Amino acid sequence: MCGILAVLGCSDTSQIKRSRVIELSRRLRHRGPDWSGLHCYENFYLAHQRLAIVDPTSGDQPLYNEDKTIAVTVNGEIYNHEALREKLKSHQFRTGSDCEVIAHLYEEYGEDFVDMLDGMFSFVLLDTRDKSFIAARDAIGITPLYMGWGRDGSTWFASEMKALSDDCERFRTFPPGHIYSSKTGDLRRWFNPPWYSERIPATTYDPLVLREAFEKAVVKRLMTDVPFGVLLSGGLDSSLVASVASRHLAETKVAKQWGSQLHTFCIGLKGSPDLKAAREVANYLGTLHHEFNFTVQEGLDALEEVIYHIETYDVTTIRASTPMFLMSRKIKSLGVKMVISGEGSDEIFGGYLYFHKAPNKEEFHQETCRKVKALHLYDCLRANKATSAWGVEARVPFLDKNLINIAMDIDPEWKMVRPDQGRIEKWILRNAFDDPQKPYLPKHILYRQKEQFSDGVGYSWIDGLKDHASRHVSDAMLAQVINIFPENTPTTKEAYYYRAIFEKFFPKNSAQLTVPGGPSVACSTAKALEWDAAWSKNPDPSGRAALGVHAAAYDEEPSVTVTPIGANTKFAGKAMIDLSPNLADGIIKAVV
């Protein structure tokens, strides 16, 4: 991943403004530690922090057309760039960067080229010929993008909120699948697949078509000039990614910096289900496996930094982001700059445990549509920002544009959980890779039940978070929560704790509104709550909260006793950890 910042149409063109743009761009350097770039034209600024994955030697940004009248700053990967170059034979390319095609496509086709891109991307393009600009974001929102407005009438875009929150009067999340044009001053949707309207599809399930689409999605994401690996939890999704990638490397004898043996990575508390399952899958596939342990204390110590990087106060996102954040640091220490991950499968195939209660195929399909549309606020945000915090790029084959369109066009009757027919959640995906002649995975792994990432790394992780929040958010504080946080009011002590940290870093109302509102529940939408009224009484969003669905918890070592620095106070037999003084003071003053 890279970090982009654009300041367009500002009133100040002095050296002070240039220095300020550079200063704000530095806030994104964790996303792109390899090089920095800045293009200035009159009162337009395009800044870039590069993570070099493809063409590390010559692909520095911003990128240009032949005469440099068009400049573009891009965060992402364009997997079909070689095919697009064939369409642009009359153009001269300066680099081997996959992103350079964007400048030439605009020159050739105007603003309507975005749907030609196959990849994950956010970009801002400046046309100096008429002083116009466009900004666009990929179909699902795999890469982050924010849009803001300065007091002087300037328009801002940035990969992360932290680069514009101080200087913009207001800002918002740039919606996925959209393009903004300064010529019209409007956002318009460029991604308009049939499933987006939530109409019920009727295409018959073909396991071979689905398998082939997924294999192609994985293989195209092996496009890299740097060491890479796969995030392997041992669950269905990451295991299939690892299996397909491992097969491809073995069959093609691809020699990367680390050789043709695939590297896999997993993190968890000691004795967690993910560590055990991932080790088994890695042994089966013959990958070079890297297993990382973390403690509850290490996770708690990282919380503030995690929230600063991922820029949300959503409970489930923070729970899952913390171990992913810690793992990414370990991965980067090994020299790895790109990983492939399994996000998106549960949304497309209805893999969350509450889908067991879907009353009919119509509601099942409509809920999957809503989940996919919201991915940029949850799993995409987590996977991108938790890894980018350490200069690691995460690629997500389940969110391949072609694969999504194929999967979302299948008659949802095939996706329904049917115990009487032996169909568990994501049966159509499991069945597609259930090949007895040349097995992709062992049967018991292929049909392993869903674990949320925050659960799979160890159940005492979630329990530790709840205990920690309970020690620092009193009943009296929670009773006054509506007065302290009137927008998107937290409903639990854990949610209150995260919200307080978030607002220390991002105090503006615009920042609060970039996070989805409403209470955290076992499923994300009010419609799904109708499937089982009991869920509305359960404030915990953990996957285990899907009542009567999840299998028994595994045997784990006792919860870690948390020992704070310089504190000996005990609470319910465990040590207390104080909030940072500034944060604690802020909460106390707000309550008083």
Tell me the binding residues for L-glutamine: 98
Contact 159, 84 (CB under 8 A): no
Q: Cα separations (Å) of 406 from 220, 385, 458?
A: 17, 28, 34
d(CA 483, CA 591): 8
Task: Assess contact for 266 and 274: CB atoms under 8 A.
Answer: yes
- The answer to whether residue 2 is catalytic is yes
Identity (one letter) of the amino acid at 159? S
**Both structure tokens of 468:** 């920690």
Q: Which residues pair with 38 in a beta bridge?
A: 47
Residue 86, SS3 per DSSP: helix
CB count in 10 Å sphere of residue 42: 10
Q: In DSSP terms, which residues pair with 48 in a beta bridge?
A: 4, 37
* Residue owning tokens 């063109």: 13
Q: Is 11 exposed, middle or buried (0-12, 13-18, 19+ CB in 10 A)?
A: exposed
- Residue written as tokens 């946080």? 485
The Cβ-side half-sphere exposure at 314, using a 13 Å CA radius, reads 28
Binding residues: 98, 231, 267, 341-342
Separation of alpha carbons 127 and 71, rounded Å: 7
SS3 583: helix
The stretches of 314-417 forming alpha helices (DSSP H) are: 315-333, 345-349, 361-373, 379-388, 401-408
Q: Which two tokens stand for residue 28?
A: 């994104």
Catalytic position from the list 2, 168, 266, 380: 2
CA pair distance 307, 309, nearest whole angstrom: 5
Residue 95 phi, psi dihedral angles, 5° rounding: -130, 175
What whole-number distance in Å separates Cα of residue 282 and Cα of residue 32?
30
**What DSSP element (H or E) covers 46?**
strand 44-50
CA distance 451 to 353: 9
Sequence length of the chain is: 592
DSSP designation for 256: -
Q: Which CA distances in Å does 182 have to 186, 394, 479?
A: 7, 31, 46
Residues labelled as active-site residues? 2
